[in-house]
Amino acid sequence: MKIMNRMIVALTALLLVAALATSALAVTMYVTTDQAKVRESNSKNSEVISRLPEGGSVEVLETDGNWSYIEYVNKKGKTRTGWIANKHLSNAKPHKHTWSDWRITRQPTCAKTGLKEHTCTTCGVTKTKEIERAKHQWGKWTVTKKATCAAAGEKVTTCKKCGKKGKKKIEKTGHSYGEWAVEKPATCADKGMRSRTCKVCGDKETEELEQLAHTPGPWTTLVPLTREADGERAYKCTVCGMEVRETVKAEPSLARKDKGELVKTVQNMLNALGYNVGKVDGIYGGKLDAAFAQFARDNDLVFAEGWIKPAQLDALVSAWVKSIPGEKWMGVNDSLVLTADPDGKPGDVLSFNWILTNDGYDPCTLKAVLMGKGADHDFRGDDIVALLGDEALKAGIANSLGGAFSIPATAAEDAEALSFRAVVENNKTGEIWLSNAATYKMAG
């Protein structure tokens, strides 16, 4: 057989040589093998650059022993050249099969693949092809192991055709817990615990109870609050005796890199007083520091760079209020309603919650909430504590702002009452208006 193959190859080569010798033009040949390899050079070790289908035509340009240099058209329709073994070429156009219809020779089942074949009606060649297995025809599922809250179950089924068994897991059921029972009550000194038990399997689930809040006793001032610095106070829990400390913030204050409407308000006030802060952008930067430092020097204030304390803001707002031209100082507007109520914390600190409502007034910006001693105060003198606002009020009913502030009790010494007013600027006209006075009568 090997001798016969060699003879065929030799004969093909001779035919190619003869064909090329008799014509200066390329000779059309046909590929006899599917996926015939086209190589970069006339060596079986060279790179494969393409594969040609059985029956495809090529142009043989030259031959070299067992190889032919060909020109062909690749899958992308590009004309290319390369080398192909002579054994894959023939000058006779391959036979084109005329296939009969497929005939099933073995029916597929759910256990085995089937077979089908068809035959060339011209040359009698037969091709066979496998048919995929049929799907199982499963019967009804039968539970062989019930699922519980502790373990998964299982169910099975059988194929009606081949008898194959199928299994499927049944997920665990959820626990059926009873009511929670407190095992350890929570106190202000320690957390508690409660538990509940599954009625089916006895599984026990526990849950931590949060520690209770302390029950405050009388406040004791540790560090008095001032408008210069924060204060500190403490109380002892009447249940467990633990001391609880609290920092009382002196507000408002500003620090470098702070942003917002509060910073913008301070920038506008400094500009109005003749201290250039540059662009009013609501960002506490170096220019604001420089402008406030000059204001502090002019008003004999102690100023630490990068931090504006509440007392220094009080001085700025007082100076700004006194600088407002008479024609822009419009007095009280009944549409602006301020309420200020104590929050009930005793001690050397007075804490208030405030709400300002704009009922039908033009859009305006809250500049500050001012405090003065006495029930009747013109709010343009020296005895003022300023608590800056930081948001705009829209026009219309029930447009309101709110907040909270704490002041030292020493700020109200020798005063029968404290009165609070909000000062706002009309966004359209620049006029300055006051709210009503919210009065707080001092004890005693």
Nearest to 437 by CA among 420, 424, 423, 418: 420
256-260: Cβ within 8 A, 24+ apart: 256/284, 256/285, 256/289, 256/306, 256/307, 257/283, 257/284, 257/285, 258/283, 258/284, 259/283, 259/284, 260/390
pLDDT digits (tens, 9 = 90+) for 214-225: 998 988 889 888
418 burial (CB, 10 Å; 0-12 / 13-18 / 19+) is buried
DSSP string, 302-346: --BTTEE-HHHHHHHHHHHHHHS-TTTEEEE-TTEEEEEEE----
- The architecture (CATH level 2) of 329-441 comes to Sandwich (2.60)
For residue 337, the model assigns a pLDDT of 87
- As a whole-number percent, the residues of the chain with pLDDT over 70 amount to 91
Residue 278 CB neighbour total at 10 angstroms: 13
For residue 383, the model assigns a pLDDT of 63
6 burial (CB, 10 Å; 0-12 / 13-18 / 19+) is exposed
Q: CB of 165 within 8 A of CB of 158? A: yes
CA separation for the pair 60, 38 (Å, rounded):
12
CA separation for the pair 114, 137 (Å, rounded):
17
Q: Which residues pair with 295 in a beta bridge?
A: none
Q: CB of 80 within 8 A of CB of 71? A: yes
Residue 208 pLDDT class (50, 70, 90 cuts)? very high
Please give the C-alpha separations between residue 112 and each of 103, 109, 161, 165, 318, in angstroms, as whole numbers: 18, 5, 12, 16, 98
**Is there a cis peptide before residue 53, judged by omega within 30 degrees of 0?**
no
Q: Which residues pair with 120 in a beta bridge?
A: 99
Residue 8 pLDDT class (50, 70, 90 cuts)? very low
For residue 381, the model assigns a pLDDT of 63
Give mean pLDDT, residues 77-95: 90
CATH of domain 2-90: 2.30.30.40
**Is pLDDT of 346 > 60?**
no
For residue 408, the model assigns a pLDDT of 81
**Is pLDDT of 419 > 60?**
yes
* Three-state DSSP class for residue 173: coil
Specify the CATH superfamily of domain 254-323.
PGBD-like superfamily/PGBD (1.10.101.10)
**Is pLDDT of 6 > 70?**
no
Whole-model pTM: value is 0.52
**Is pLDDT of 1 > 50?**
no
Determine the residue type at 16.
L
Boundaries of every domain in the chain? 2-90, 254-323, 329-441
Please give the C-alpha separations between residue 237 and each of 9, 12, 111, 219, 338, in angstroms, as whole numbers: 108, 110, 80, 10, 36
Give mean pLDDT, residues 391-412: 82
pLDDT digits (tens, 9 = 90+) for 242-279: 999 988 887 788 999 999 888 999 999 999 999 999 99
For residue 46, the model assigns a pLDDT of 93
**Is pLDDT of 41 > 50?**
yes
pLDDT digits (tens, 9 = 90+) for 326-336: 899 888 888 88
- In this structure, of 72-76, 177-181, 215-219, 394-398, the range with the lowest mean pLDDT score is 394-398
Residue 338 pLDDT class (50, 70, 90 cuts)? confident
Determine the residue type at 217.
G
Residue 113 pLDDT class (50, 70, 90 cuts)? very high
Mean pLDDT of the chain: 86
For residue 75, the model assigns a pLDDT of 87
- Both tokens of residue 213? 């809040």
For residue 344, the model assigns a pLDDT of 61
